[in-house]
Chains A and B, each alone.
Chain A
Amino acid sequence: GQQVMQIPQYQHVQEGEDFTTYCNSSTTLSNIQWYKQRPGGHPVFLIQLVKSGEVKKQKRLTFQFGEAKKNSSLHITATQTTDVGTYFCAGSLSGSARQLTFGSGTQLTVLP
């Protein structure tokens, strides 16, 4: 079945440092979504990427979708304590039954 691998599993950074999480799929994806889950909370949608090579920015967050539509990354510039949480990628296959397959997530800790 479809697998979506995400690394690293954990990341501790000092406030102000940059952070990147990577997502790789075993199969070509129709689109990829990113979610953030705060400690004790539920996943909240951040963005969706659809096109090959697409790059989108949200303030300090930069999202990329690979040319082959098999990998993606989320980069946070100058982390803040409000960035703490777990970041998940979720991929969708083309065709029917387009369920989302979630990566295992990267838990980000920002040290003040």
Chain B
Amino acid sequence: NAGVTQTPKFRVLKTGQSMTLLCAQDMNHEYMYWYRQDPGMGLRLIHYSVGEGTTAKGEVPDGYNVSRLKKQNFLLGLESAAPSQTSVYFCASSFIQGGSEQFFGPGTRLTVL
């Protein structure tokens, strides 16, 4: 089992460009999450999903959109990237939201110039 995978690993964007980050899990988890990690600020929840076809806003959702068309995939979109979105993005999945361990992907390092 690959666990949680993320693509791409690195990306550089110019301000105003768009992109989609892909997260895939092969553990049949219902719950999936997108976090961003900035120095000194820990992990902040962007959006999450409690099942296929559902999404919800987290702590810092502005400027991002998500979709969960298939149970195993969770996509994070940036429609018009801004330098403030320079960060490391982690996807995670779990069986029970907040009640069991979250399995994290390796992360995507995004730089917006």
| A→B interface (CB under 8 Å) | 1, 6, 9, 30-31, 33, 41-45, 48, 88, 90, 92-93, 97-105
The residue in chain B whose Cβ has the minimal distance to the Cβ of A43 is B104
* Interface contact B98-A44, CB-CB below 8 Å: no
* Interface contact A42-B107, CB-CB below 8 Å: yes
Decide yes or no whether B106 CB sits under 8 A from chain A.
yes
Taking a contact as CB atoms closer than 8 A, the residue among B35, B42, B101 that contacts A45 in the complex is: B101
Q: Give chain B interface residues in 85-111, CB to chain A under 8 Å.
A: 90, 92, 97-107
Main SS at interface, chain B: loop
Q: Give chain B interface residues in 41-63, CB to chain A under 8 Å.
A: 41-45, 48, 56, 58-59
Taking a contact as CB atoms closer than 8 A, the residue among B42, B43, B56 that contacts A97 in the complex is: B56
Q: How many residues of B contact A (CB 8 A)?
A: 25
* Interface contact B102-A100, CB-CB below 8 Å: yes
* Interface contact B42-A103, CB-CB below 8 Å: yes
* Interface contact A1-B59, CB-CB below 8 Å: yes
Taking a contact as CB atoms closer than 8 A, the residue among A33, A43, A98 that contacts B97 in the complex is: A98
Q: 5 closest Cβ contacts across the A-B interface?
A: A98-B98, A92-B98, A45-B101, A104-B42, A42-B104
CB distance from A106 to the nearest CB of B (A): 10
With contacts A33-B101, A43-B90, A48-B100 known, is A100 near B42, CB below 8 A? no
* Interface contact A45-B102, CB-CB below 8 Å: yes
Taking a contact as CB atoms closer than 8 A, the residue among B33, B40, B97, B99 that contacts A9 in the complex is: B40
With contacts A43-B90, A92-B98 known, is A100 near B45, CB below 8 A? yes
With contacts A31-B99, A42-B105, A45-B102 known, is A88 near B48, CB below 8 A? no
A-B contact pairs, 22 of them (CB 8 A): A1-B59, A6-B42, A30-B99, A31-B98, A33-B102, A42-B105, A43-B43, A45-B101, A45-B103, A48-B101, A90-B43, A92-B99, A97-B56, A98-B98, A99-B97, A100-B45, A100-B102, A101-B45, A102-B35, A103-B42, A104-B40, A104-B41
* Cα–Cα distance between A44 and B104 once the two chains are bound (Å): 7
